[in-house]
Amino acid sequence: MIEKGWQTSERATRRLKKRYRRERRLKAAGILAIGLALGVLVLLLGSVISRGYPAFVKTEIALEITFDAKLIDPSGSGEAKQLAKGKYGRALRQALFAKFPDVVERAERRNLTQLFSKAARFELREMILDQPDWIGTTQRVWLTAASDVDMLTKGSLPRDVPQAERRLNDQQLAWVDHFEAAGNLRTVFNGGFFTGSDSREPELAGIGGALAGSFWTLLITLVLAFPLGVAAAVYLQEFAPKNRLTDFIEVNINNLAAVPSIVFGLLGLAIFIQLFELPRSTAIVGGLTLMLMTLPTIIIATRAALAAVPPSIREAAHGVGASPVQVVSHHVLPLAMPGIMTGTIIGMARALGETAPLLMIGMVAFIVDIPSAPFDSATALPVQIFLWADSPERGFEEKMSAAIIVLLAFLIIMNALAVILRRRFETRW
Amino acid sequence: MPLPSKMEISGLDVFYGATQALYDVDMKVAEKRVSALIGPSGCGKSTFLRCLNRMNDIIEGCRVDGDVLLDGNDIYARDLDVVQLRARVGMVFQKPNPFPKSIYDNVAYGPRIHGLTNNAGELDEIVESSLRKAGLYDEVADRMSAPGTSLSGGQQQRLCIARAIAISPEVILMDEPCSALDPIATAKVEELIDELKEDFTIAIVTHNMQQAARVSQYTAFFHLGKLVEFGDTEAIFTNPEEKRTQDYITGRFG
C-alpha cells in the first residue's frame, strides 16, 4: 500500500528537487548550444562583412586631362566611330607627365601610369563619347585607381614593410600621398561591382555577370523543377496505387535528396553535355543539372504539404460529388500551396548556393560577357566566389568577401520569404 | 415495411485490411423518412453509412462485399459513376467541415462543379434557397463573402447541410452531425432534419439515443459489426425484440 501523504514527505521533496536540478541542467545545455551556434554565426558574418564591405567602394584619382583634338579626333570629323579610336591612353600619360615633370626615366614613368587602372583610358573615352564638346579643352576628371592604390587607401596594403616586399615602391607611395594631400584622391561607391562582370583586374571585377548567370540558371531550375516536382508529388500522394513499385519510387526519391550534389554534376555532364550535346558552361545545362538536384526536395516538401491538408476537406469535397481531380485542384492543392512554396523556395535557395555540380559542367570558366540568355556562356555567384578565392591578386580577396555578402543576402531574403509565407497562410482551416 | 424503400442493403460485409468491420448487414432505407443508426462506439454504424455513397472508396485498404441498391441499382456496379452517385447521395460529417472559402462559395461549390446553373442569378437563387432550407440564411445574409470557417460550430454544420442540399441530392447521409455542437445548436439541426425529410431521404448516425427517438422514424441498432435489430423507432425504443437492444437503449452498456 502507498502511504497517505507521501507527496509532502522528505523523500518526495528531495526527489522533486533532484528533478528540478535535472531540468535546469538540460536548459543550461540548450542555452549553451544556442549561444555557441550564435557565436559562430556572428564570427562568420563579422569576418565576411568586415573583409567584404570595402569592395563596395573604390578609389579614384583626379587628374587634369587635356583632350587634345590631335589625339582624340585626328580626322576632325567628330563622329562617334572616329572618337572611339582616339588615343586616350596617351592623353592620360601626357597629363600625368605634365603633372610630374621631373619623372623622366622610362621605368619611373611606367610606375607612375600604373597607379591608374587599365580601364582609365576607356573611362576617358566614355567621357568624350558622352560630351564631345570636351575636345580641345582641359578637364579635371576622376579616374579609377589601380587595385594596389585601392588596397593602399583602404589600408589592406601595409606601408611599414621593406620596399622589396611591397606591391608599391616608395616613389609610388609618395605619389599617392601627393594626390591625397592635394585632395585628388577619393573613395566612391563602386557601382561597377554590381553591374560589371569578371575581369583580370581586381578593381574592375564585378558580380553582374555571375548574378545574371545565377538568375538564368535558377529560372531554368524553377520553371522545370516546380511543375515537375508538384505533378510528381500530387500523383504519388493523391492518385498512385500503394504497391511495391510506388514504394520503390518513394524510397528512391528520398535517397536522391541525400545524394551529394557533385554526383548530380557528373550526371548533368554525362546526360546533358555528352548525350544531348548541349553547349558547355551555359545556364541551360546548369539549370537542368540543378533541376535534377532540386526535384526531390520539391517532391518531398509537396507531399508533406499535401498530406497535411486535413482529410475532412477531402471528404467534404468528395461528399458533394467532386471528382478526384477536382478535389485535388480545387481544395487540396490550394491549401497545400504555402507549404509547397516554402519547400520550393528552400530548394531554390539551396540551388542558388550550389557550386560543385556547376564545376562539373564547365560553368567555372572565366567569362567576361554578361549572359543575356540561357544558351550564353555563364558562371554563377558561388562559382564566381570560388574563382576569386583561387586568384592570387590581393584585390580579389575583398571582392570574394563582398560576393559572399551578396550571396548570403539573397539566401536570407529567400528564407525570410519562406518564413513569411508559412506564417501568413498557416492553419487557414 | 409499408413504405417504399430508397436504398436496399443486403449481405453487406466490410473489411479494413484484415479486420472485418461489418458482418452480413441487411437493411432498408425508407424514402423521405429519417432512419437512425445507433450503437456503441466502434460498432460499424459509421462504416455502414459511408458504404451508402461509397465514401469508403477513398480509405486505403477498405473492401466492401454485398449489395447496396439505390432505386434498385447496385451502387457498387462496375459501370456506376461514383461522382454521379455522390451527387445523388450527399453527406454531412461529424465535424463541421466547411471549405476555407466564403459562405457563398461553400454553398455554390456543388452547383458550380456539376454545372447546374446557367447564370449568376440562378446560382444566387440556389444559394439563397439552400441556406433558407438549412435555416441559416437570416443569420448570414449580410455576410455571404465572409469565410465559412468564421461561423460558430452550429452555423458551420448548418452551412454544411446547405452545401449538401444545394445540389438537390436524393439521399442525405449524416454522420453524427450534432456530436460537436452545443444543445441549442443541436436542437436547431434536429428541427432542420425534421423539415428536410419532406424532400430528402435521410440516414443519420447518432450516439444520442434521445436524438434518434426524436428525429427518426426507423432505427437500426448495430453492435460489434452486426445489425442487431431494425424497425420502427417507436417499436425499438418501447418494445425491442432483442435483449442487447434493450440493454443499450436503457443505458446498461455503450
Amino acid at B240: P
Q: Which class in CATH covers the domain with range B5-98+171-249?
A: alpha beta
Q: Are B95 and A242 a contacting pair at CB < 8 A? A: no
Residues pairing with A306 in the sheet:
none
Residue A379, phi-psi category: left (phi > 0), alpha (psi -120 to 50), beta (remainder):
beta
What phi and psi, each to the nearest 5 degrees, are found at residue B222?
-105, 145
Q: Per residue in A163-190, is it b (16+ CB within 10 Å) or e — as a string?
A: eeebbbeeebbebbeebbeeebbbeeeb
Mean per-residue pLDDT for B223-236? 92
Distance from the A308 Cα atom to the nearest Cα atom in chain B, whole angstroms: 15
Model confidence band, residue A426 (pLDDT cutoffs 50, 70, 90): low
Indicate whether A237 pLDDT > 60: yes
Model confidence band, residue B2 (pLDDT cutoffs 50, 70, 90): low
Q: Pairing state of beta strands B171-175 and B89-92?
A: parallel
Structure confidence at residue A114 (pLDDT):
92
Structure confidence at residue B252 (pLDDT):
75
More confident residue, A242 or A413: A413
The pLDDT mean for chain B works out to 91
Residues of A with CB under 8 A from a CB of B: 242, 310, 312-323, 326, 330-331, 335, 428-429
Model confidence band, residue B132 (pLDDT cutoffs 50, 70, 90): very high
Domain ranges of chain B: 5-98+171-249
Structure confidence at residue B125 (pLDDT):
94
Percent of chain A with pLDDT over 90: 69
Indicate whether A32 pLDDT > 70: yes
Residue A314: its chain B contacts at CB < 8 A? 58
State which H helix or E strand residue B156 sits in. helix B153-165
Spell out the long-range contacts of B225-228 with Cβ–Cβ below 8 A and sequence spacing 24 or more: B225/B20, B225/B21, B225/B22, B225/B23, B225/B43, B225/B44, B226/B22, B226/B23, B226/B24, B226/B25, B226/B44, B227/B25, B227/B26, B227/B27, B227/B48, B228/B39
ipTM of this complex prediction, to 2 decimal places = 0.89
Indicate whether A53 pLDDT > 60: yes
Contacts of A360 (CB under 8 A, 6+ apart): A262, A265, A266, A268, A269, A289
Residue in this structure with the C-alpha cell 531554368, named with its chain if needed? A220
Mean per-residue pLDDT for A292-309? 94
Structure confidence at residue A167 (pLDDT):
86
In A162-275, which ranges are continuous DSSP H helix?
170-181, 192-195, 208-234, 244-257, 261-268
B64-112 pLDDT, tens per residue?
999 999 999 999 998 889 999 999 999 999 999 999 999 999 999 999 9
The grid coordinates of residue A203 equal 578593381
Q: Say how far apart CA A166 and CA A148 lie, in whole Å.
A: 10
Contacts of B145 (CB under 8 A, 6+ apart): B102, B103, B104
Q: Say how far apart CA B224 and CA A121 lie, in whole Å.
A: 94
Model confidence band, residue A423 (pLDDT cutoffs 50, 70, 90): confident
How far CA B188 is from CA of A361, B127, B182, B202, in Å, comes to 69, 20, 10, 16
Q: Are B113 and A326 a contacting pair at CB < 8 A? A: yes
This prediction has a pTM of 0.84
Structure confidence at residue A428 (pLDDT):
56
A173-213 pLDDT, tens per residue?
999 999 999 999 999 999 999 998 899 889 899 999 999 99
Q: Are B55 and A317 a contacting pair at CB < 8 A? A: no
Q: List domains and CATH numbers for chain A.
A: 54-190 (no CATH), 208-425 (1.10.3720.10)
Structure confidence at residue B159 (pLDDT):
95
How far from the centroid of its chain's Cα atoms is residue A142's Cα?
29
Which residue in B has a C-alpha nearest to residue A427's C-alpha?
Answer: B100
Q: What is the largest CA-CA distance in chain A?
A: 116
B133-170 pLDDT, tens per residue?
888 999 999 999 999 999 998 899 999 999 999 999 99
DSSP state for residue A279 in the 8-state scheme: P
Model confidence band, residue A6 (pLDDT cutoffs 50, 70, 90): confident
